[in-house]
Amino acid sequence: MVNQPIDSATTVKTMRLRYAGACTSCAVDIPAGTTAEYDRTAKTVTCLDCISTDGPTNAPEPEPAAVAAGTAGTSAQREYERRKAKREDRIRGAHPRMGGLILALTDEPQSTTAWARGAHGEELLGRHLDALADRGVRTLHDRRIPRTKANIDHLAIGPSGVYVIDAKRYKGRPTLRVEGGILRPRTSKLMVGSRDCTKLVDGVHKQVALVRAALDAAGLEDVPAAGMLCFVDADWPLFGGSFVIDGVGVVWPKKADERLVAPGTLEPASVDDVHRTLAAHFPIA
């Protein structure tokens, strides 16, 4: 008699096992009475999970998509260009023949150039913060605050927590002025040169509160959140100069580094999770 080749398809059957076995794919024990795939020729069993997935169910999870950090200064640059174009249209419309000459001989108002100056400051600080990636710091730039036209300049997440960083490119030296005392209420003011810039501190507090609410809503109540005002190109002294006013750090870029890379309770995986959470809550502006 000539031996006929055995069709492998007829040797494999999905059935309720009479005897216990171990899956040939994932090595999981399969008790007797469990439905599985039985190979009569090889006398082996394969669990249904491995059959349905063509492999063990404990395969590694796919890598999550990369977070888009955003581009620092984009919103401020857009506002500068909008104001510049509006001024040009107004002047050319009022002076069809001489508009070009007027624009060439007159300077843009400070209220317009301030946006370009601010955009450049945010860009400089953004590049500086991005360079801390190899030291465990993750960044987000120019993030829109939901349901508003406002934005957050920078968010930096490091081992010690989340930092809301407002970039400023003001002329003059930032100083802390404390007034009052025995006879008057004690008050603190943020001065830049001769300008009272204390309102900037209130703005940072509002942004930190929004970030705090986003973290709490995501179940990240234990993640610290704080604010900084980072003055780029300011007239800082050679030694010292940074200070804290009402819980907000007033620093320059390299001084900010010390706080961002300081040891803390967040492991690298937690830093990445917080980074992803805040990126989803505060989209690119």
User: What average pLDDT does this structure show over 262-280?
Assistant: 95
Residue 236 pLDDT greater than 50, yes or no: yes
Higher pLDDT, 135 or 25: 135
Tens digit of pLDDT for each residue in 79-102? 999 999 999 999 999 999 998 999
Q: What is the pLDDT of residue 60?
A: 59
Mean pLDDT of the residues in the chain: 89
Q: How far apart are CA 161 and CA 223, in angstroms?
A: 6
Structure-block tokens of residue 175:
């100083």
H or E element, residue 53: helix 48-53
Rounded to 5 degrees, φ, ψ at 228 are: -140, 145
Q: Among 74-78, 214-218, 238-242, which stretch is predicted with the lowest mean pLDDT?
A: 238-242
> Which has the closest alpha carbon to 249: 15, 258, 134, 104?
258
pLDDT digits (tens, 9 = 90+) for 120-158: 999 999 999 999 999 999 999 999 999 998 999 999 999
Give the pLDDT score at 85: 95
pLDDT for res 1: 44
173-192 tens-digit pLDDT: 999 999 887 778 889 999 99
Mean pLDDT along residues 167-172: 94
When pLDDT is averaged across residues 205-234 and rounded to a whole number, the result is: 96
Find tokens 């492999």 and name the residue: 55
The answer to whether 39 and 45 are in contact (CB under 8 A) is yes
